[in-house]
Amino acid sequence: MTKFGKNALIFLGGVLFGTAGIKVLSSKDAKKTYTHCTAAALRAKDSVMKTVTKVQENAEDIYAEAKQINIEREESEQPVELELDDVKPAEPEKEPEPEKTVEENKDEA
């Protein structure tokens, strides 16, 4: 068989297979199956989108609460600025004077 004959047979086989495939794929049963598969895919998409929306809402809530926590924390932790020139050194404690006796009180009077 020549190269041309081989290629011609391969081509005719492809045409026959393609024609049979088109007939099978365009049958009523195949269309019904495609329709059901597409409907299932659309239901799955809707379910996934609902879940994604819930996750997104929760993430937004978490983000807003985290921002509020940081704002409150920042307000409560504002640094106090002290200048060392304004700080006076602590004075040593004075010892209490001993109590005077009754006789010493009479002498002063």
pLDDT of the residue at 4:
75
Distance CA(26)–CA(48), nearest Å, equals 31
Residue 109, pLDDT above cutoff 60 = no
Residue indicated by tokens 């304004």:
86
Write out the DSSP string of 21-43: HHHHHTSHHHHHHHHHHHHHHHH
Q: Which residues contact 30 (CB under 8 A, 6 or more apart)?
A: 24
Its pTM stands at 0.42
Angstrom distance (rounded) from CA 53 to CA 76: 35
pLDDT in tens, 10-60: 888 888 777 777 777 778 888 898 899 999 999 999 999 999 999 999 999
